[in-house]
Structure 1
Amino acid sequence: MTKQKRATAEHGRARRSVLRTLGLTAAGTALATTAGTGAAAAREAGRRPGAVGPRTYLLVHGTHSAGVHLTGVAGELQRRGHRAVTVDLPWHGNEAFVPSAYQRQDLDALATEPSPLAGLTLDDYAHRVERHVRTAARYGPVVLVGHSMGGTSVNRVADAVPQLLDHICYFAAFCPSRAMPTLEACMSSPEGAGAISPDDQVIGDPEQLGVVRLNWRTGRPRDLAVFKEMICAGYPDTAFRRVLNAMQTDECVRAYGGRAVGGAGTWGRIPRTYLRMGRDRLVTPELQDRMIAEADEATPGNRFRVRDFPSAPHMGPLDPREVADALHEVRLRRG
């Protein structure tokens, strides 16, 4: 082999090695694009729950959010020796839709500007998450984590591919039940009545737009106070503004009404943890407790393991190490 050919071969091997590493640790859609790397060997290994090797934590964001809000937790998990991937749902995060009128802060135009998110459903979100799960499961144990609305995708995916998941975790997340089968039903329950709802902050008509649209760049003190208490109660203003900077204007209306009830024989077989935020003003502690109780009633032999964060708001503790510690300690299903 000539020197040039050897150099080309070595470059190719190095590039494939880098791509494999990025595919298992980078945020967003990077993991999904690595399906061809080592796929044949992974299929032969047939890895399922109980497989050895580093865990992959898949972190799914919530409403009006993006994977970037979970990168602090992902980084801490990586420092503990795990793989961690933040999943951007369709038209979120790295592929976010930013209305032109939002950039200009033209509120009249913002009230009517069409949004591609209007065509989405919970099916689209769950399918995106399931693709990540199917890829990650080839490499070892998978822990699927949903924050806020991300819990509905966790329910859907755990119902569809329970054999590929070793643990599921709800981070101040919705966990619909037979009595409350959708996110809307959870929020409409008596336990959800104490939640802060930004009704006065909604831009335009959600029924006409097909999305709930919020102006996170507002300078109005009243609006900012509502947003802060809703998701970041107790945060310093500097940290609150960092959260706001990555929030998205639009969330599809139909996803809120998508049924997401896990079956006892599928979702109900997977070990599960709930990270309970005691100062949450969006998914209230009372609603969190009811969702935990109804899940435990459905599968009394496989109950939630609850980790309580009494002073944390909806976005979780300021220090991501606290959430990472709780996730690091979850027990995997064996066999």
Structure 2
Amino acid sequence: MQNLPTFIFVHGAFANSFSFAPLQAELALLGHRSLAVDLPGHGFQATFPAAYQAPQDLGALASEPGGIKGVTLADNAAHLIEVLERAKQHGPVILVGHSRGGVTITAAGNARPDLIDRICYVSAWCPVDLDVSGYYAEPEMAEVDHGALAPALAGNPAELGLLRINFRTADPAALTAFRHAFAADLGDDEFRTFLNTFQPDENLDAGTSADRAQAASWGRIPKSYVRLADDASIPPAMQDRMIREADALTPDNPFDVRTLEGSHLRWLVHPKPAAELLANLAAV
């Protein structure tokens, strides 16, 4: 048992550990152990305002405080490092981040590369030449609907100190935007089910230039990038750009690149191909 790796999964924005349950089940059936992290203010630590429940009070929803206010990327990384320290006592660790979770795993890799035996990005932000906000202004993101969340925005982020999205909206325009951005290839029930795992609040700190991948520390970790071929949220062109930048940063330790078909969320809803791919990584 000592040599079996533990997969540690880090979720993206508005998500939580619940997202990974089907994938963890598939991995368990392949003989692999795993755990999914809830970053601070996520999972059962999340705030679900009373006004979020039906019938919704949109006015109150726009102003009710949320517990994730003030949570930073440094908080996320510190929490993840505590998990890594405990998991590392039992053998190798494969750290897997999805979407915005890539920023957190990069920060952990910068700080404690000794705790990570392989770092894996699944259509996740891997900031190298720019921070995440900078990448959003680049040509590879030109076809992304930057306003996908806007129709369901609740409150003023500057006043709330957090980003709040009404994922329980019935607004057809908002639901269509969500579907296109995250899950165009899922069935209606699958899409609505996943939407109901999201929490309404997310912190505002996605990192700065100081949180980009560092060659001297992060760059020592064996690394994989799993491209999602039909992702409309982080398009393949942007995924490929981050891979190229990382390879230029650490030419002696390039990304091992794999590809899965599907949207930003399909790999979590239909996880068997992803589980098989990750199990293969464990043998690398």
TM category (shorter chain) comes to over 0.9
- Aligned equivalent of 1:93: 43
- Aligned equivalent of 1:268: 219
Larger radius of gyration: 1
- Residue ranges of structure 1 left out of the alignment (5+ in a row): 1-50
- Alignment match of 1:109 (pick from 57, 60, 66): 60
Q: CA deviation at 1:200?
A: 2.9
- Local SS of the residue matching 1:135: helix
Question: Is residue 101 of structure 2 the alignment partner of residue 153 of structure 1?
Answer: no
- Local SS of the residue matching 1:255: coil
Paired with 2:202 and 2:275, the residues of 1 have a C-alpha distance of 27
Q: CA deviation at 1:258?
A: 7.4
Q: Which has the higher contact order (CA 8 A, sep 6+)?
A: 2
- Aligned equivalent of 2:145: 196
- Local SS of the residue matching 1:274: strand
- Aligned equivalent of 1:53: 3
- Local SS of the residue matching 2:189: helix
Letter in structure 2 aligned against 1:269: R
Question: Is residue 73 of structure 2 the alignment partner of residue 122 of structure 1?
Answer: yes
Residue-pair matches, total = 280
Answer whether contact 1:120 1:255 (CA < 8 A) is retained: no
- Aligned equivalent of 1:70: 20
Paired with 1:166 and 1:292, the residues of 2 have a C-alpha distance of 19
Q: CA deviation at 1:257?
A: 4.8
- Residues 182-214 of structure 1: per-residue CA shift (max 9 Å, x gap): 222222322122222322321111111121111
Q: CA deviation at 1:322?
A: 0.9
Answer whether contact 1:117 1:252 (CA < 8 A) is retained: yes
Letter in structure 2 aligned against 1:68: F
Paired with 1:187 and 1:315, the residues of 2 have a C-alpha distance of 20
Moved over 6 A (4+): none
- Aligned equivalent of 1:329: 280
- Alignment match of 2:82 (pick from 118, 131, 134): 131
Which is further off, 256-265 or 268-277?
Answer: 256-265
- Local SS of the residue matching 1:196: coil
- Aligned equivalent of 1:176: 127
Answer whether contact 2:103 2:206 (CA < 8 A) is retained: no
Answer whether contact 1:201 1:223 (CA < 8 A) is retained: yes
Answer whether contact 1:276 1:307 (CA < 8 A) is retained: yes
- Local SS of the residue matching 2:233: coil
TM-score normalized with structure 2 length: 0.94
RMSD value, Cα: 1.7
- Residues 220-275 of structure 1: per-residue CA shift (max 9 Å, x gap): 11111111111111100010011011101111112355742121121111111111
TM-score normalized with structure 1 length: 0.80
Paired with 1:194 and 1:201, the residues of 2 have a C-alpha distance of 20
Answer whether contact 1:210 1:254 (CA < 8 A) is retained: no
- Local SS of the residue matching 2:211: coil
Mapping of residues 160-309 of structure 1, within 5 Å: 160-177=111-128, 179-180=129-130, 182-197=131-146, 198-255=149-206, 257=208, 259-309=210-260
- Local SS of the residue matching 1:145: strand
Paired with 2:38 and 2:213, the residues of 1 have a C-alpha distance of 22
Change (3 A) 1:239 1:96: same
Answer whether contact 2:11 2:37 (CA < 8 A) is retained: yes
Answer whether contact 1:121 1:258 (CA < 8 A) is retained: no
Letter in structure 1 aligned against 2:142: A
Change (3 A) 1:302 1:139: same
Q: Which has the larger helix fraction? A: 1
